[in-house]
Amino acid sequence: MAARATTSSYAVLALLSLRSWTGYELTQQAQRSLRYAWPKSERLLYAEPKKLVELGLATVEHEGTGNGTRNVYTITDAGRRALNEWTSTRTQAPRLEIEALLRLLFADHGSREDLLAALDEFEGDIGEHHRAIVELMGTYLDGGHPFPERTHLSVLFATFQIEMFKSFERWLEFARSEIDDWPSTQGLGMTPRTEELTRLLANDQSPLGS
C-alpha cells in the first residue's frame, strides 16, 4: 500500500528542489537534461510526483477546471531531508542498452546493408543527443538558462556526454572502414586482421589509437 521511493522518485524530487513545477513541466524538463542520465517515460514522470505527495515529500495544488487541471507540485522540508539522505546511499551500476551493438553481434544473420543501416540509425540517435547537449551549454552562455548557479555541475555532466558522443562517432568511422573490408557479414572469423585487433584488445589497447 505505502509507496516506496525509487531512484526515479529522487530524480523528480531533485527537480522539485530547484522550483515548483506542474506535472507537464516536469515531463518537459526531464527531456531537457535528466534524459541523458536517467531516461524515463513521460508516463512515469506524471506518476512520480503523485507518489512523492503520498510519501509527504511534496505537496500538490490543483489549478483550473475539469480536464484542463494543472497540478503544481512543491517540495516539502521532509522532501529536502530525504534528498539529502539519498546522496549518501549506494549508486546503482550503469546500464547501457544499445540495440545497434546487439545487431552488430549477430550481424551475420543479415546483410552488410542491414548492419550499416543499424549503425546509421545509431549515429542519427546519438547525433541528436550530441547537438542537444551542445545547444544546452549555449544557453548557459547567452543567459537563457534558468539555473546558472548550477553551471559547475552541468559543465562536468556535459563534458561526460560530449566525450562519450565523440568516442562513439570515432568508433562508427572505424567500424565502417572495417566492415568495408569484409567480403560479407558471415563466417569471416579469425583472419590476420581480426587476430591483430583481438591481440590489441586482449592487451587492453584500443585499435582506434590512430
Partner DNA sequence: AGACTCTACTGCAGATTGCAGTAGAGTCAA
Partner DNA sequence: TTGACTCTACTGCAATCTGCAGTAGAGTCT
**What residues between 16 and 75 interact with a copy of itself by CB under 8 A?**
17, 33-34, 36-39
Q: Which is nearer to a copy of itself, 69 or 194 (CB)?
A: 194
Return the closest-CA partner of residue 71 out of 53, 87, 93, 56: 53
Contacts 24+ apart (CB under 8 A), 84-93: 86/10, 86/13, 92/7
Distance (Å, rounded) from C-alpha 74 to C-alpha 177? Answer: 53
Distance (Å, rounded) from C-alpha 98 to C-alpha 133? Answer: 19
Q: What is the chain's Cα-based Rg?
A: 22
**What residues between 57 and 116 interact with DNA by CB under 7 A?**
65-71
**What residues between 27 and 46 interact with DNA by CB under 7 A?**
39-44, 46
Contacts 24+ apart (CB under 8 A), 123-128: 123/169, 123/172, 126/165, 126/168, 126/169, 127/165
Q: Which one of a copy of itself, DNA, none is in contact with 79 (Cβ closer than 5 to 8 A by kind)?
A: none
CB of 100 to a copy of itself, least distance (A): 5
CB of 4 to a copy of itself, least distance (A): 17
Give the full edge-to-edge strand order of the sheet including 58-63.
21-22, 70-75, 58-63
Q: What are 82's three cell numbers?
A: 530525504
Q: Which one of a copy of itself, DNA, none is in contact with 54 (Cβ closer than 5 to 8 A by kind)?
A: none
Q: Which one of a copy of itself, DNA, none is in contact with 77 (Cβ closer than 5 to 8 A by kind)?
A: none
CB of 54 to a copy of itself, least distance (A): 22
CB of 17 to DNA, least distance (A): 18
DSSP secondary structure letter of residue 75: E
Q: Which is nearer to a copy of itself, 61 or 160 (CB)?
A: 160
Q: Which is nearer to DNA, 3 or 116 (CB)?
A: 3
Q: Report the interface residues with DNA, using CB under 7 A.
A: 3-4, 6-8, 22-25, 39-44, 46-47, 50, 65-71
